[in-house]
Structure 1
Amino acid sequence: MDPTQSVSDAVAKLYNTYPFPPEPLLDEPPPGYNWRWHWLAAYSFCTGQTPGWQDVKILDAGCGTGVGTEYLVHLNPQAQVTGIDLSERAIATAQERCRRSGADRATFYNLSIYDVDQLTGQFDWINCVGVLHHMPDPKRGIQALADKLAPGGIFHIFVYAAIGRWEIALMQKAIALVQGEQRGDYQDGVSVGRQIFASLPDGNRLKRREQERWAMENQRDECFADMYVHPQEIDYTLDTLFDLIEASGLEFLGFSNPRVWQLERLLSDNPELLARANQLPEKDRYRLIELLDPEITHFEFFLAKPPLPRYDWSDDAALLNAKPKRNPCMEGWPSRSIFDYDYQIVNLSEAEFAFLEACGDGSNSIKDLLPAVELTLAQVRQLLQRQLILLKP
């Protein structure tokens, strides 16, 4: 048998045994939002402007039990969403999840990413979260998906980071070693793993890490199995990550958790050192953050297939003529104390609140709005940087 196929079969077996993620099925739309799954917010993050169309074609590649697929449907009311996955049982759960919550614009196929060319047409947006690192040949996988991305389309990816998952990798090896010939029996693997953790002394580093970071979610066997007894996992460093990106032939747009990739959060106590570090090339700055923060357990980022328009709004005249609207991914509005796109609490000034309120349906320009509120153009730029507003040229 083709080794690639045997690994894919083992992965499918895991998720047929333990469909993932194991989120409950609801008879209503899921709560809240993830801005990375909201077309307006995601496209604006990638380009600096709102998209000119909303009837997008979205591919959820490796959709699992459809948790992300369901959000993609409900957050994007004009989108047609396709989900594919290796696991028949996960696909069945995804279909039932979307049926129950009314996500009726989702279509599912039991299909490998390697075979995505069997789908008709191209997609404006591809979502691939937690999948490529479980493929025997991730470069082949990302290339297959890149071929299905339409020109000007965006591609969101999430893969594991090696340094932050060091303890997980050690426990994976330990469980496999104890299992021996029973490796591939995932229920036995979960049992062995739980017994090892229970037996380790309280001060043990692996046990401590599990208790501090993962124990809550790993109460569910599906999560424990996905983390510790997976038959295929490739964890990335910055260097190997950019090798993967280069293989895709697509353009790197940036990390979708940008706060993590700011040197200021690590070196702000020494302005001279911070200034020196900020002189490094972009990839070296990322590498420095990776080395200084071993808590980073994953990389999440956007790619694009050119041509993709980009606006940085550095020109005052262009900014004044832009039409702003409130970011749809915020909670607590209307209030001066809200949760922003990333569920961080934001306390708005009176002028900021008045400006956001005046944005309305996005039909007025910034030039039209500013005379009525006590806000400068520089402060409007701050609202944009904080993703509290989205702009249309």
Structure 2
Amino acid sequence: MPDSQAINQAVANLYNTYPFPPDPLSDLEPPGYNWRWSWTAAYNFCTGRKPEAQDIRILDAGCGTGSSTDYLIHLNPEAEVVAIDISQKALEVAQERCRRSGVIAKHNKPIEFRQLRLEEVPEQLEGQFDLINSVGVLHHLPDPIKGIKSLACKLKPGGIFHIFVYAELGRWEISLMQKAIALLQGDKRGDYRDGVKIGREIFANLPENNRILKQEKERWALENHRDESFADMYVHPQEIDYNIETLFELIDASGLEFVGFSNPQYWQLERLIANSPELKARANELGDRQKYRLIELLDPTLTHYEFFLARPPLTQVDWSNEDRLKQAVPELHPCMQGFPSRNFLDYDYQMVNISEAEYDFMQACAKNSEQQSVGELITKSKLDLAGVRALQARQLIVLSSNFLT
């Protein structure tokens, strides 16, 4: 069995051959947004409120070619950002990406890029971080539990940890293709260019009704036209896929609290069994983790888990208290496109339609330079407190909670 050092070197060799992700470099700021990389948006998702500080420390743990780092720098202008990766070639691309986009030149806080394995973080990085981002990394480690512990120990109390790892059920066909390529490569396994060549030859010759080919065409072909993406998906030397049971073993090992999945719509059991009172009654007897397992068994399309952990204390706000809500200062959610308009894209790139009263209130939030409270703004609005709660629940506005400090 290969040792950890050999596995890490094989992973580094892959990404030195095919730096990932292969997003093109640009002289423009990052297009759009990923709300999970905005401190305000992510913190609001986890707690229901705006964070008290913006001058934070962020660790991008496994930054690859810097697409995530570019966003983290751009969306968090007051933050110190440290980006690490195992691949020197990927880091070079990451630094060039962030230089060309202009985000570094506009940033007033330190930005640091370091070639570093996740397992080395406790000894090599000083201090702790308010936000740790680790997307598509832990499942490529020889020991993911050691990796998540290494990162967890660097998370500040009250900090949040954003993680993305693979799900086994939605990647079943991918796993089969990985094994097929490895068999045909034989002694050439580890030659990633040969692996891509063999993989493409297989797809070119499979019959049209083949399940693996159909899945590739329906879900992955658009991104896999790039060899970097094809290699990352099909010829990776190290991959551990999870199910709900093994995922929570990983989470529990971190010593952190599970806050929630960042795609909550998928985890609504109602969408699968809403028409059966008997099934709903039986499901209500299950614990949360059992419900999650039931959902992924009934809808095995999920290819990855994306979620937040936290180190206590992380205070979540209940805005059902009227006095509390009236004291809050509202502002627009930082991740939206197309506002001001009654039809625009929300934080999750979903089209939303708002009423005239909601539009007027959001306009008042946008112009709220005097930091007026919800209670003050609704006296001039047709929107009531229930309407304000609805805007907050849809993450169209963010509320402060100064009463907690």
TM-score normalised by structure 1 residue count: 0.97
Match of 1:257 among 252, 260, 263: 263
Does 312-321 or 223-232 show the bigger shift? 312-321
Task: For residues 295-319 of structure 1, give each alpha carbon's deviation from its aligned partner in whole angstroms, at most 9, with x where no partner exists.
Answer: 1110000001111122122322211
What letter corresponds to residue 14 of structure 2 in structure 1? Answer: L
Distance 1:380 1:270 in 2: 33
Match of 1:108 among 79, 97, 113: 113
Say whether 1:161 aligns with 2:167: yes
What letter corresponds to residue 75 of structure 1 in structure 2? Answer: L
User: Any conservation in 2 of the 1:263–1:278 contact (CA below 8 Å)?
Assistant: no
Match of 2:158 among 152, 165, 168: 152
Distance 2:64 2:274 in 1: 40
> CA offset at residue 271 of structure 1?
5.5
What letter corresponds to residue 375 of structure 2 in structure 1? Answer: K
> CA offset at residue 275 of structure 1?
5.3
Say whether 1:352 aligns with 2:347: no
Aligned residue in 2 for 1:30: 30
Distance 1:96 1:348 in 2: 41
Distance 1:322 1:276 in 2: 40
Give the 3-state SS of the residue equivalent to 2:103 in structure 1: coil
Say whether 1:325 aligns with 2:350: no
Aligned residue in 1 for 2:317: 311
Distance 2:235 2:204 in 1: 17
Aligned residue in 2 for 1:50: 50
Task: For residues 68-97 of structure 1, give each alpha carbon's deviation from its aligned partner in whole angstroms, at most 9, with x where no partner exists.
Answer: 000000111111111000000000000111
Aligned residue in 1 for 2:399: 391
What letter corresponds to residue 88 of structure 1 in structure 2? Answer: Q
> CA offset at residue 272 of structure 1?
5.6
Give the 3-state SS of the residue equivalent to 1:59 in structure 2: strand
What letter corresponds to residue 385 of structure 1 in structure 2? Answer: A
Aligned residue in 2 for 1:72: 72
Say whether 1:125 aligns with 2:128: no
Match of 2:236 among 218, 230, 236: 230
Give the 3-state SS of the residue equivalent to 1:208 in structure 2: helix
Aligned residue in 2 for 1:302: 308
Aligned residue in 2 for 1:370: 378
Q: Structure 1: state its 5+ residue gaps.
A: none
Task: For residues 143-186 of structure 1, give each alpha carbon's deviation from its aligned partner in whole angstroms, at most 9, with x where no partner exists.
Answer: 00011111111100000000000000010000001101100000
> CA offset at residue 282 of structure 1?
1.2
Distance 1:262 1:375 in 2: 29
Distance 1:289 1:364 in 2: 43
> CA offset at residue 278 of structure 1?
4.2
Does 272-281 or 326-335 show the bigger shift? 272-281
User: Any conservation in 2 of the 1:322–1:392 contact (CA below 8 Å)?
Assistant: yes
Task: For residues 218-240 of structure 1, give each alpha carbon's deviation from its aligned partner in whole angstroms, at most 9, with x where no partner exists.
Answer: 00000000000000000000000
CA RMSD in angstroms comes to 1.4
Question: Measured at CA, do residues 73 and 16 of structure 1 come closer, stay the same or move farther in structure 2, by a change above 3 Å?
Answer: same
Does 43-52 or 87-96 show the bigger shift? 43-52
Give the 3-state SS of the residue equivalent to 2:259 in structure 1: strand
What letter corresponds to residue 337 of structure 1 in structure 2? Answer: N
Say whether 1:172 aligns with 2:186: no
User: Any conservation in 2 of the 1:63–1:85 contact (CA below 8 Å)?
Assistant: yes
Match of 2:283 among 266, 272, 277: 277
Aligned residue in 2 for 1:99: 99
Does 21-30 or 224-233 show the bigger shift? 21-30
Aligned residue in 2 for 1:380: 388
> CA offset at residue 324 of structure 1?
1.2
What letter corresponds to residue 30 of structure 1 in structure 2? Answer: P
> CA offset at residue 131 of structure 1?
0.3
Distance 1:220 1:173 in 2: 21
Question: Measured at CA, do residues 78 and 225 of structure 1 come closer, stay the same or move farther in structure 2, by a change above 3 Å?
Answer: same
User: Any conservation in 2 of the 1:98–1:106 contact (CA below 8 Å)?
Assistant: no
User: Any conservation in 2 of the 1:46–1:302 contact (CA below 8 Å)?
Assistant: yes
Task: For residues 365-389 of structure 1, give each alpha carbon's deviation from its aligned partner in whole angstroms, at most 9, with x where no partner exists.
Answer: 1111222222232222221111111
Distance 1:228 1:180 in 2: 15
What letter corresponds to residue 151 of structure 2 in structure 1? Answer: L
1:178-217, aligned counterparts within 5 Å?
Answer: 178-217=184-223
Aligned residue in 1 for 2:107: none
Distance 1:2 1:271 in 2: 51
Q: Structure 2: state its 5+ residue gaps.
A: 105-109
Give the 3-state SS of the residue equivalent to 1:258 in structure 2: coil
1:10-25, aligned counterparts within 5 Å?
Answer: 10-25=10-25
What letter corresponds to residue 25 of structure 2 in structure 1? Answer: L
